Amino acid sequence: MCRSIKVLRKPEEQATPDEIRAAALQFVRKISGYHHPSQANQAVFDLAVGEVATASERLLASLVKPARLTAKRAASVRGAP
């Protein structure tokens, strides 16, 4: 199911609200099977996109950022003197 889901941002960059919404829309389209919902389903489709976007924002805000390696530390990790 997830083979064609694209990475929408790089891990070291902060996701924008537009990127989060685009990812939420992509996810809802994928799991619902509808690229464009009917008028009868539009409201629940939009609600689902909003809920996924909100959950995604919470996730991204809660992730622990990995420490950046200094050049000296990176060299020692690689085994260089």
Q: Is the distance from CB of 8 to CB of 15 less than 8 angstroms?
A: yes
3 has a pLDDT exceeding 70: no
Residue 33: pLDDT band with limits 50, 70, 90: very high
Look at residue 53 and tell me if it is in a domain: yes
Look at residue 9 and tell me if it is in a domain: no
Look at residue 55 and tell me if it is in a domain: yes
The four Cα atoms 25, 31, 32, 36 give a dihedral, to 10 degrees, of: 40
**Mean pLDDT for the stretch of residues 21-46:** 95
Residues 6+ apart with CB under 8 A from 81: 75
Look at residue 2 and tell me if it is in a domain: no
Look at residue 56 and tell me if it is in a domain: yes
35 has a pLDDT exceeding 70: yes
Q: What is the pTM of this model?
A: 0.70
Give the domain range for residue 67: 17-78
Mean pLDDT is highest, among 6-10, 44-48, 65-69, for 44-48
Helix, strand, or coil (residue 39): helix
Look at residue 63 and tell me if it is in a domain: yes
39 has a pLDDT exceeding 90: yes
- Report the domain count for the chain: 1
Residue 59: exposure state from Cβ atoms within 10 A (0-12, 13-18, ≥19): exposed
